[in-house]
A = this chain, B = another copy of it.
């Protein structure tokens, strides 16, 4: 399915450069403070695997490690099938960028490492053990407070905040909510303009939540995702069911310690079906 005119598709577009190699280009539309939005880079990594002629099945697990901020410009994605079984396939992915070295010659640096598991899904017994929390449906959310941060990629998402918004005042007040809620955010989200959900855009949605340390402390310290894992529970049929509708996202942290905090996230369709679960580790300073 191609939606070539959509900024998301422009941002994850790749040109084949030979076996296992692709060329992409960062886009201003998804720029974060330093480098691109991590979600769009994760989506690009997944796209390289899904567009690979040897790709078997659909994505089941994705881990991306953000080793360095990408600079604006072209980058190379290498995606190699390390092992192909009858119904599963293991991919190793790296993103590299040439950076001018001290001596004026271009130096190739790894900016991201990743692994992807794809599989032929089979019909089996199944059940969902994480009901969608009781929240107002998107059409009932009154006057959604828009995110006003001066960051470009945020404009690429329609976000309806339900719980745990960005602090209105950065007064350094540590949350007095109980541990279950102190770092919890819930929000409806979808691409802006709306775009039918696919695996790549679902991977990006898993990274839309701002760093939990902002919410927990009301203090804007330097922070950024260093590693993110996304597990896909959605299959093609469920993605079609969602279409370009809103996805409910929930995120919280378990612990903040010595420069790193985790973030657990769950994403549901508006019908309450679990689409993805995710865990990420976030660096923070001070």
Contact = CB atoms under 8 A, between A and B. Distances in A.
A60 interface: yes
Interface of A: 60-61, 63, 65, 67-68, 82-83, 85, 88, 90, 92, 94, 109-111, 113-115, 117, 119, 121-131, 174, 179-180, 182-183, 216-217, 226-227, 229, 231, 233, 235, 252-260, 262, 264, 266, 274, 277-279, 281, 283-286
Contacts of A283: 88, 119
A115 B117 contact: no
A252 to B, nearest CB: 7
Contacts of A92: 92, 94, 113
A286 B124 contact: yes
Nearest to A85: B68
Contact of A115 (B113, B252, B278, B286): B113
B88 A229 contact: no
Contacts of A109: 83
Contacts of A115: 63, 65, 113-115, 227
Given A113-B90, A121-B259, A279 B281 contact: no
Nearest to A172: B125
B83 A227 contact: no
A235 to B, nearest CB: 6
B127 A216 contact: yes
Nearest to A84: B67
Contacts of A279: 229, 231, 264, 277-279
- Between A127, A274, A285, the greatest number of chain B beta carbons within 10 A of the residue's beta carbon is seen for A127
Contact of A183 (B129, B262, B277, B285): B129
